A and B are shown apart, each in its own frame.
Chain A
């Protein structure tokens, strides 16, 4: 199975044999097989199921919605009902190799605290965001004088769960403020077109990416891998 194809810094996300949404496929490709992970905001468990069943990971999930939890439990996935703001504190330090937070960062009340929690319970976090810095979003503000209404930002302001809109630049500023190190970083547009975000080209990624995915490392300790998951 090939997740990725194309040139080094730009590539197109391929079909995932498991039927995973392309952006989730990208997140999955950033996770070492057989690692221990927590997917926060795991929705119906599609990504988690792929990582557990296809990649041999020891995966856990957290999901706020009843329907999401029910879907996960029915897939045989261990998922607890909870939200990132309040329930990450329940996990001990270093419980996992990875914590995944996809499309959830902008829906939490305290993104800064949540980032801290993610990198407390795991030394690597994979975080994806919706980018309000995309040119279409900017155009929407400039020409129409209205909040962005685009392909990826399609919910009106009074209904959107994204109470903390941010751009790629905003997000990277926060990581620098907190001393969080950024590893791999990708911008995604049109659902499948990926651009590697390089340190000096943040502005470009900010303009052309609809979403972005970041690999984040805990500020102090060096990255380490635990290999085989422990426990059952």
Chain B
């Protein structure tokens, strides 16, 4: 289908917030060995940086998140994705901390990614964009911190893919990470999760409007493919109890079954809505690239098959949080990390929070999450004299 309205890169370039070109526009080398440059990182900040630059909290967003953790989202007009956690008096207290949230490398909200223009060619990257990894995303964040003149980060925090980045930060840049909060995360992507991602990618690539990744040129976008990818993924973010509580087997706007393939059930209608609204704010190619980055993440293998090697003599303080009904990043994944930290004698706290909301619980109103994370960050800050 033909797309009306401004082109994707025009939308991106008009988004509000900060932007910085890394390393004066020099190429950066990716984990794959490919080079990419110039790299721009779009980011938001809240709060005030203190004099000795010691009150920095870095937020790493999840797969379909972005830098707009707080405040009205410029595209959807909805609240930021982590309003519950970040703000004045909230667990990540913006009256106290200088909070930075960058759009990840490969993202589609202003940071260099497949939906951005390659300054060298003047053309959109599309599938000419190199494959990136979680390590590349974190490296871009490290360079962003350099640009901002921030050496030490009081707390790196993130959920899901953000949690992967938190572990990557701690494993490879420990000297800059005072504390790390990994919520519903994992040190490697499971086979089941890679499988789910592959379903999403195949849905996008099977859409004729994907045009081998060059849909921007054709003035199209693979809406049905991306929408199906989102629908499938969205199921994995929830749980049967959460779906049942919300929808059960209730019918949508009708009293009887239609004996057809309309969205008879409320749950179908909900998923279709999730899919169709997602395509307005997310780029299909960015979805391909970021899911790939998550699939490739395997910290354990990178540290010779024992994650404890990553934490030897580490002074970073860790908090890991999982949710009982999360089957995408289950408790067992967090525990694996906790065990490795214990093996290394690291300073680690861990809680499994009782919730029936599935993986998405980390974005929702979970008082125990706020109490645990808030208490942890507060204690780290007090120890640092903030």
Contacts and interface: CB of A to CB of B under 8 A. Distances in A.
A81 B350 contact: yes
Interface stretch (B68-76, B135-143, B313-321): B313-321
Contact of A70 (B348, B351, B352): B351
The winner among A79, A80, A95 for most chain B CB atoms within 10 A is A80
Given A79-B349, A81-B351, A92-B343, A70 B380 contact: no
Contact of B349 (A80, A90, A95): A80
Contacts of B354: 66
Contact of B382 (A70, A76, A232): A76
A44 to B, nearest CB: 12
B344 A70 contact: no
Given A80-B350, A81-B350, A232-B314, A90 B338 contact: yes
B379 interface: yes
A87 to B, nearest CB: 9
Contact of B372 (A70, A75, A77, A231): A70
Given A74-B375, A74-B378, A69 B347 contact: no
A77 B380 CA distance: 10
A80 B314 contact: no
A77 B350 CA distance: 11
B329 interface: no
B353 A66 contact: yes
Contact of A73 (B335, B338, B372): B372
A231 B342 contact: no
B346 A80 contact: no
B368 interface: yes
B382 A80 contact: no
A54 B349 CA distance: 21
A18 interface: no
Range class of the B interface residue count: 20 to 34
Nearest to A76: B379
A75 B379 contact: yes
B379 A231 contact: no
Nearest to A231: B345
B383 interface: yes
Interface in A109-159: none
B372 A69 contact: yes
A111 to B, nearest CB: 23
Contacts of B18: none
A78 interface: yes
Interface string B325-351: 000000000010011001111111111
B376 interface: yes
A232 B372 contact: no
Contacts of B371: 70, 74
Interface in B214-240: none
Contact of A90 (B339, B353, B374, B383): B339
Nearest to B344: A231
B347 A81 contact: no
Nearest to B317: A78
A231 B339 CA distance: 16
Nearest to B380: A76
A80 B315 contact: no
A69 B346 CA distance: 17
18 contacts: A66-B351, A66-B368, A70-B368, A70-B375, A72-B349, A73-B372, A73-B376, A74-B371, A75-B375, A76-B382, A80-B350, A90-B338, A95-B342, A95-B345, A231-B344, A232-B315, A232-B345, A232-B347
Q: Which 7 pairs from chain A and chain B are nearest by CB?
A: A74-B375, A76-B379, A231-B345, A232-B315, A80-B350, A73-B375, A78-B347
